[in-house]
Structure formats: C-alpha cells, structure tokens
Amino acid sequence: MLLSGRALEKPAPEQPVGHREGKMNVFEEFKRLVIELERHEVRYALVGGVAMAFYTEPRFTRDIDLLVDFADFEKVKGILDKDGYFESASPWTFRRVPVQLHRFSKVTPEDEMMIDILVAKTEEVKRVLRDDVEAESEHGRVVLANKKDLV
C-alpha cells in the first residue's frame, strides 16, 4: 500500500509544525534520520505520532518513535551517535509487549529532541516490520507501521 504523506511536507510559514525560533524541528530531524536509515539499509517502521500523521491530521509531537529489528539496532545507534544523539536512559522493557525501548536524546543550548527506538526481538513484533507500509512525501519514501498495528 502506498500512502501520500503530509507528515514530512514543509509546514506553511504561518503555522510551523514542531518548530519555534531556535528550536529543533521533529520533521527535519526525522527526514535526516530516514536518509541515513535508507543509506545503511536498516529495516525500520515509523510508529507513534509522526506515523499517525500519515493516516490522520498531524498532531504536535516532540519525539520520533521507530521500530527496528534487533539485528539492526547497532547500526541505528551508530547513526544516532554521529548525529549528536546519546542514549539518555537505561533500556525499558514492557510486561505485555516483547520490545525493548531505547531512548536517545540530542541537546542543544535551546532545545532537546528525543528519539525512541523500539527493538523487535520476537517474530510477533517483527511481523509489524514485515507488514509495513510505504508512504511518499515531498522528501521521498518513508516506511511506517500499518495503521492496524498503531492502534
């Protein structure tokens, strides 16, 4: 399935999305990250608020949530490290969902950005990656979780 994405389109100047003067823009950070994920052939699926913007009206969000395969986690960590992110908390595990969450932060004098990497270790969760959906935005291809896997 191919969706037309509004999530990565440039916001109108009178209504910037996720950006104030001197602040990082979540969509610009995501665009840069996607370029690197594609370049390093990382299998990922966008989840969370940015992914939902492809299915419904965008909502204000200040973080990026990605699901990645366990085998690609070290690549992702390297990509984030090169872009100024650091792992800012111990990994979280969830009682009912077989994923591990790694939170990465990037801090500037005026702002902070978070990227949550959900690491899929079981076939059940890896199915979300197999059932992903490609979306097109003005900045190119984006891979996101199927709507049924987001809600």
| Structure tokens given for 68 | 């990645």
pTM: 0.81
pLDDT tens digits for range 94-144: 888 889 999 999 999 999 999 999 999 899 899 999 999 998 876 678 899
Q: Which residue has the higher pLDDT, 27 or 38?
A: 38
Q: Give the CA dihedral 114, 59, 125, 85, nearest 10 degrees.
A: -10
* Helix 73-82 / helix 26-39 crossing angle, nearest 10 deg: 130
